[in-house]
Amino acid sequence: MSHWITIGTNVAWADFDNFQKALKSTPCWRIDNKTTITAVFALEGNRALVECQAQEKSSFLNWMERVGFVPDEVSEALYVARGGDVWKLRKL
Amino acid sequence: MTSADELRNKQQLYFDDLEVGQEMPPLVIGPLTSTHFFRWSAAIENWHRIHYDQNFAIYHEGLPTVLGQGSWKQSILPRYLKDLCLPNGWAWKVNFQHRTMIVPGDTVTVWAKVTSLSIVDGLGMVELDVGMRLDYGAESCPGKAVIVLPLRGGRPVPYPFVPPKAEALQEGAE
């Protein structure tokens, strides 16, 4: 498994109800057995930051296209620190 | 969820009232939260971090998030069957597979459907397909079960239940 982070635009997610509808139920974020949208931050200006765990980057790209998310760039994450919890991410 | 009072006052389900293909009343639990999973971990002292530590589950184990416990499912299905049989029947056998993972936000519907009916030694043997269906349609625990129910006016199901001999079961199936 690898982790990718993207920042980009999705106008619909600026509205909280739309954001919740798009991402709350399990099939919305658990895309398939190997692909999970692990975090989404809606940002100012219709922007959003999305974290994805997947076997293949293409799975993440397909999901973005399906939900109408336009990425500026997609980067693989190497490490993560969350409140003092530090993990290496690549090739889980 | 079924309340304790509903179970205390439950009317007996009789073998005579069932037919093949009949769906039993489902048990709906959820939406489940990480608190449910943590409570179960605490109750049975299962400290595997995949059930309550989301960072560990995702970043160390490569899982989608924290997961519901297999042992929870193993308690819920027998409980459901037991509740169907109350007050005087017996949930005899159940086996099932662990398939789709249960995660926070999921609502679980425990279900059973009659596949076969037979009378053995004066007792009603009810074979069932069983499972735990998630709210988006995935099946988490497909399996099979046998419950034993009294016949109207028939002899009581022994407590504790004594499985009939193999020959008697064979005769009942014929």
Closest CA–CA distance from residue B65 to any residue of chain A (Å): 8
pLDDT score of A91 more than 70: no
Question: How crowded is the C-beta side of B23, counted as CA atoms within 13 Å?
Answer: 7
pLDDT at B4: 85
Residue A92 pLDDT: 54
> Quick check: B44 pLDDT over 80?
yes
pLDDT tens by residue, A21-71:
999 999 999 999 899 999 999 999 999 999 999 999 999 999 999 999 999
CA distance, residue B29 to nearest chain A CA (Å): 16
ipTM of the complex: 0.92
Name the percent of chain B lying above pLDDT 90. Answer: 86
Which residues of B4-160 form beta strands (DSSP E)? Answer: 27-29, 90-96, 108-120, 123-134, 143-149
Band (B7; pLDDT cuts 50, 70, 90): confident
Angle, alpha carbons A13-B56-A81 (nearest 5°):
70
Would you list the DSSP string of B95-127?
A: EE---SPP-TT--EEEEEEEEEEEEETTEEEEE
Q: Confidence class of residue B3 from pLDDT cuts 50, 70 and 90? A: confident
Contact between A72 and A50 (Cβ < 8 Å): no
Residue B43, amino acid: A
Res. A90: pLDDT tops 80: no
pLDDT level of residue B174 (50, 70, 90 thresholds): low
Q: pLDDT (tens digit, 9 = 90+) per residue, B51-87?
A: 999 999 999 999 999 999 999 999 999 999 999 999 9
A10 touches chain B (CB under 8 A): no
- pLDDT tens profile B9-39: 899 999 999 999 999 999 999 999 999 999 9
Share of chain B above pLDDT 70, in %: 98
pLDDT, position B133:
97
Inter-chain touch B136–A82, beta carbons under 8 Å: no
End-to-end CA distance of chain A: 5
* CB distance A51 to A4 below 8 Å: yes
What pLDDT, on the 0 to 100 scale, is given for residue B164? 85
Test B58 with A38 for CB contact under 8 angstroms: yes
State the average pLDDT for chain A: 93
Paired with A80 in beta bridges are A87
Residue scoring higher pLDDT (B114 or B174)? B114
- CA atoms of B101 and B134, how far apart (whole Å): 10
Residue with tokens 């009916």: B117
In whole angstroms, give the CA distance from residue A7 to residue A72. Answer: 6
Give the position of tokens 């239940």: B161
According to the model, what pLDDT value does residue B129 have?
98
- Is pLDDT at A79 greater than 70 in this prediction? yes
CA-to-CA distance for B31 and B23, rounded, in angstroms?
A: 23
Q: What pLDDT score was predicted for residue B170? A: 74
Q: What is the pTM of this model?
A: 0.90
Residue with tokens 């997609």: A74
Cβ under 8 Å to B: A residues 20-49: 24-27, 29-30, 36, 38
